[in-house]
Structure 1
C-alpha cells in the first residue's frame, strides 16, 4: 500500500444484502466501481471530453470475510499498483474503517485501459495522466493466487 492511499466511504444499500444477511459478493464490484468513479473524479478533475476514456479490462477479487450489512458506509482504500503504456492497475481494500486495525473484507485489483473510442483501440496514457497516477503509486495488493506461487 502506498504511504497515502486514497480513501473513499461508499454507501451500502439495503439491496446489497442477500438472504444470508451479508453483502452479496456480486455487490463488491459495484462498491469498487463507486470508489473508482469518486477517486477518478478527484484525481483527474472533470472527466469531460478532454480526458482519456477508461475501460475496465480485468477485475480480480479475494473475499476474505463476510461483510455483514451495516450502515451507512464501507471504506475502500484505493491506489495505483502498476502503470504501463496504455493501462494501469488499481488495487483496492474493502475495509470496516480508516483505522489501522480495520477489518479487511476483500482485496481486489483491476486493470483499466485508456481507450480511443473513435478508433476503438487502446491509446497511450498521456504524460499528464501518468503524472496524476504516480501520486498514488504503491505495491500490488496481496492476492491469494500470488501467495501460492
Structure 2
C-alpha cells in the first residue's frame, strides 16, 4: 500500500513539475508575455497528455485496468490540484486572481487533457494487442493449442 501512494505522489509531483517549468520559462524568458503564456499552456497540457498516455501504455501491458487506473487517476488529480492551487503563486499571482471562470476553465482543460492522454495510451495498447487482457487471451490460446487432445474411447 505504501508503494502505491509513492507512485501516485511521484506522478502528481512530475505533472506539477511540468507546470512549474512552463511557468518559469514564461516568467524568466518572456517576461510574462500573454502570447508566450498561451503557447506554454498549450505545450504544458500537451506534455501532460503525452506523459499520461505513455504511462498508461506501459502500465496497461503489465496489469489489469483496475490495478493501474486508480493510480493514474489519483496522480492526475493530485497534479491538477497542485497546478491550479499552488502553481499561480510561482507566477506571482493567486488561484482566483482572474476570477472563478478562469480557475474552473483550467480545471476542465487539465482534466480533459489528462483523460484524453490516458484513453489514447490505453487505446494504443489495445490496438496493438499489448494490453493485459489481450496478452492473457493470447497466452491462454497458446497453452490450449499446445495440449494434445484427449482421446475418448467409446
Q: What TM-score comes out, normalization by structure 2 length?
A: 0.30
Q: Tell which structure's C-alpha radius of gyration is larger.
A: 2
Q: What TM-score comes out, normalization by structure 1 length?
A: 0.31
Relative CO higher for 1 or 2, CA cutoff 8 Å, sep ≥ 6? 2
Structure (1 or 2) with the greater helix fraction: 2
